[in-house]
Amino acid sequence: MLAEVTRFLDIRPGQTVVDGTLGGGGHCHELARLVGDRGRVIALDRDPAAIARAERQLSGLPILVAQASYCELPLILNEVGCRGVDGILLDLGLSSDQLADRGRGFSFSSDGPLDLRFDPGAGKPAWQLIDQLSEHQLAELIYQYGEERFSRRIARKIVARRKSRPIRTARELAELVRSCVPHSNKHPIDSATRTFQALRIAVNDELGRLEKALQILPECLLPGGTLVIISFHSLEDRKVKHVFREHDQLEVVTKKPLGPTISEQQTNPRSRSAKLRAARRSKQ
């Protein structure tokens, strides 16, 4: 949704903007082109692999790259002596590079460790989480974060399975979940999607970080600056929608969320669940 992002951010040469979810660097590269040599893009990501790629591929552009969460933006701005920015982008989806890294478990077909952490040096991997939680805790986690109605069945089977052979890879978990969830031709997503989403949210504290960010990011915007957030599931989108409407410093720009065009969905099927919302900091 690059065209929509740049339209709502309305970037001008010389401005300072933030890409809070650097990922593969596609958005960041375009933001750097728009701000020009007199501007600056501050690019953040928790994933050290994303930071390393950016330092190689985006060198020479007006981009400051830092390994940090977007909810740490006030600290980063203070360190670089920036009093505020003209725009902030958060694209909350997984990057293609993360899905392609078979050693981290984001791909359902991966035989690598079921890790799912954005920063492999922080917190517990997902395989350890499903080893330690009780059946009830697993069921609640998968239901609350994955909105999976077969969560109890999945949790029961995980606990039964780990007694003889613990789950260690993404492929093993995906096959187990598929055996618990009836396949539906009406819904094209893989049956394992919601369970993986739940575990990924849990190990990365995604909702907690988003809640914190939604409270502090408006303060990082200069008057008239815009915050654009692309979410990929209802748990995120509800939080964004609520704060955009209720925050006393924000004026909603998108009355309804925007989705990807048909052509974009055909080019990138993973974009079909994307929802973009934008809000502008009031000039008062």
Q: What does the DSSP assignment read for the chain?
A: -HHHHHHHHT--TT-EEEES--TTSHHHHHHHHHH-TTSEEEEEES-HHHHHHHHHHSTTSSEEEEE--GGGHHHHHHHTT---EEEEEEE-SPPHHHHH-TTTT-STT--SB----SSTTSS--HHHHHHHS-HHHHHHHHHHHH--TTHHHHHHHHHHHHTTS---BHHHHHHHHHTTS---TT--S-TTHHHHHHHHHHHHTHHHHHHHHHHHHHHHEEEEEEEEEEESSHHHHHHHHHHHHH-TTEEES-SS-B---HHHHHH-GGGGG-EEEEEEE---
What pLDDT does residue 280 have?
A: 96
pLDDT of residue 284: 63
For the chain, domains (ranges, CATH) are: 2-91+207-281 (3.40.50.150), 112-204 (1.10.150.170)
Q: What is the pLDDT along the chain (284 residues), one digit of tens a residue?
A: 788 999 999 999 999 999 999 988 889 999 999 999 999 999 999 999 999 988 888 888 999 999 999 999 999 999 999 999 999 999 998 887 788 787 888 888 888 899 999 999 889 999 999 999 999 999 999 999 999 999 999 999 999 999 999 999 999 999 999 999 887 777 678 899 999 999 999 999 999 999 999 999 999 999 999 999 999 999 999 999 999 999 999 999 998 999 887 887 777 777 778 899 999 998 76
pLDDT of residue 91: 94
Query: Which strands sit side by side in the sheet containing 221-231, from one edge to the other?
Result: 63-67, 40-45, 16-19, 85-91, 221-231, 275-281, 250-252
Residue 143: predicted pLDDT: 97
For β-strands 250-252 and 275-281, DSSP reports them as antiparallel
Per-residue confidence (pLDDT) for residue 180, from 0 to 100: 94
pLDDT at 73 (0 to 100): 97
